[in-house]
Amino acid sequence: MKRKLLGLAICAVASTLSFSISGCSKIELQDDYILQINQSEATDLSNDKIDEVFDSEKVSELMDKLKTMPADIADKLDDGDSETADKVKELTDKVDELTDKINELDLSGKSDDIKSKVDEISDKLDELEDKADDVKDRIDDFKDPIDKEKITDTVDEFESQIDDLQSALNRLGNQ
């Protein structure tokens, strides 16, 4: 029972962590700026035009946004990590509480009977396991005791003796 509860708690913790790691949290990143450059086909880009584009206000805003974006993402991830850690701590506290309650359970004298029956069953299972291991060992050690060549030789000898006896009976019958 303890193992089942512990297993359920571990599964809950693992699923919570997997959801937070895989991005199923409330972190949303949006792209605020989309740059479009309309270029006429007749003019070639010159260094002046390239410098003008990079010196423009939209590009400088985009560069500032790109510089601050990793810090914002890290802050949001830290918030998500702290929420996950709080949930994990809460789950482990609940698991500890449940295991304490299970340890405190007493089935009013029936626990000794149940324990003795479980011990008997486990002893019988151990005996069966030992017997199964012995049978497996015997099967592994067992060699085919029947030699097919010897059997065919013996059958051939018997057939030749039967033929000899038949011919002897035929001779006696003809006399």
pLDDT, tens digit (0-9, with 9 covering 90-100), for 116-171: 777 788 888 888 888 887 777 776 666 555 666 777 888 888 888 888 888 888 77
pLDDT of residue 44: 59
pLDDT of residue 134: 78
Q: What is the pLDDT of residues 9-55, one digit of tens each?
A: 787 777 776 666 655 544 454 555 555 656 555 455 667 777 777 77
Q: What is the pLDDT of residues 55-113, one digit of tens each?
A: 778 777 877 777 777 667 667 666 666 777 777 777 777 877 777 777 676 555 566 77
CA atoms within 13 A on the CB side of 120: 6
